Amino acid sequence: MSVFFSFIKKESRHIIRDKRTLLILFGMPLIMIILFGYAIRNDIGNSKIVVVDEAHDPYSAQLIAEINASKYFEVSRIVGNEASLNHEFQQEKAAIAIIIPPDFSHRLLHLKTAQVRLVADASDPNTATILINYATAIVHQFQQRLFPSAAISLYIQPEIRMLYNPAMKSVYGFVPGVMTLILMLVSAMMTAITIVKEKETGTMEVLLASPLQPPLIVLGKITPYILLSFINALLILGFGILLFQVPMRGSWFLLLAECVLFTLTALSLGILISTTTSNQQTAMMLSLGGLLMPTVLLSGFIFPLKSMPVILQWFANVIPAKWFIIILKNIMIKGAGWHEVWAETGILSAMTVFFVIISIKKFKTRLS
């Protein structure tokens, strides 16, 4: 036991004295959470809208005022005709345009039906769709106010409710994603590198030639990283909840227990990588390519899995991050309990056991 303790002491010294590692361990999560929380978001607010007002009457002025009042739009220009529209889009002065025809109020008052045209920059299709939806909603509201429903004989008005995230804040999705990414990075990559480093510098040779049991060597090396990963998880949770008001609706105990489980999954992957390589650079490339890329791309963190080809959806099932993100979202945002996440937890546990068994089989008591 005292051997184990002194091993941990030694490992902690390595971590504390290596400024670069420290920076990765604690700087990275901070930078990522702030980047994803503030900068990289797909919420849309105050988009520039160009209004082509060919009507110039009280009704069109009222509609323009309503658009400008909405938090989604900011009227950047009101022009008289649509000739210059193309130019506005190319110069990125507008993301969307609304064209109000000259006979707008005439048709409204006499024919009870008027048209406006919405033109959006679809070079970014997602944004264009969202903006068109917002604009349509504003036009509908305007119409409702002018003609209370009595005037229309049959009218079904859908009432939409966005469950769990009514404001559709993207940061709700990013906090679980960033947490997964960081835990993967710290736990898997750092452990792989730290074990391989001993091989590279030759100290592993001395450790192996000593009475230390090889599993103890690995355990001694990863224990400080379990603690560090856990601190990181708390850090990200704290930032998410305090800074970005991400809700925490489920049980803290369950959430933290799941974090520990995922840390172990990532660590076992790190050990597995370390058994297959003998230099730090390869270990890093393997971790980045084999773990980080799938975690970002195929876990549902950034790109929705449902819109991927079926083969990729199948492949996503073997990526631990996918299951952890589901668990996190369920617990934090939906307030799910053990009954709702036991299946995903079971899959993660099985994966961890599988990786540990392979690592133990592959870890050698000798050099080759």
Partner 1 sequence: MIEVNNIRKTYGDTVALDAVTLSVGKGELFGLIGPDGAGKTSLFRILTTLLLPEGGSATVNHHDVVKDYKKIRKEAGYMPGNFSLYQDLSVEENLQFFASIFHTDIQTNFEIIRSIYEPLAPFKNRRAGALSGGMKQKLALCCSLIHNPPVLFLDEPTTGVDALSRQEFWETLHELKKKGVTILVSTPYMDEASLCDRIAMIQAGHLIGIGTPAEIISGFTKPLWSVSGMDIYRLLKDLQDFQQTDSCSLFGNNIHVTLKNGVADVSALKEYLLRKGHETASINPVAPVIEDCFIERMKE
Residues in contact with partner 1 by CB under 8 A are: 2-3, 6-7, 10, 13-14, 17-18, 201-203, 205-212, 365-368
Our CB check for partner 1 shows the closer of 14 and 41 to be 14
Our CB check for partner 1 shows the closer of 13 and 112 to be 13
Q: From the CB of 206, what's the least distance to partner 1, in Å?
A: 5
- Chain centre distance of CA 339: 25
Q: From the CB of 167, what's the least distance to partner 1, in Å?
A: 48
CB 83 within 8 A of CB 98: no
131 CB contacts (<8 Å, ≥6 apart)? 44, 47, 72, 95, 96, 120
Our CB check for partner 1 shows the closer of 18 and 82 to be 18
Q: From the CB of 3, what's the least distance to partner 1, in Å?
A: 6
Instruction: Give the SS3 label for residue 81.
Output: coil
Our CB check for partner 1 shows the closer of 13 and 117 to be 13
Rounded distance between C-alpha atoms, residue 191 and residue 186, angstroms: 8
Judging by beta carbons within 10 Å of its beta carbon (0-12, 13-18, 19+), is residue 115 exposed, middle or buried? exposed
Our CB check for partner 1 shows the closer of 79 and 208 to be 208
Tokens read off for 168: 């559709």
Residues in the chain: 368
Name the helix (H) or strand (E) containing 204.
helix 203-208
Residue the block writes with tokens 């994603």: 177
Q: From the CB of 357, what's the least distance to partner 1, in Å?
A: 23
Our CB check for partner 1 shows the closer of 34 and 216 to be 216
Our CB check for partner 1 shows the closer of 216 and 243 to be 216
Q: From the CB of 337, what's the least distance to partner 1, in Å?
A: 45
CB 96 within 8 A of CB 75: no
Q: From the CB of 190, what's the least distance to partner 1, in Å?
A: 16
Sign of CA dihedral 146, 149, 151, 152: positive
Tokens read off for 157: 């008005």
Q: From the CB of 217, what's the least distance to partner 1, in Å?
A: 9
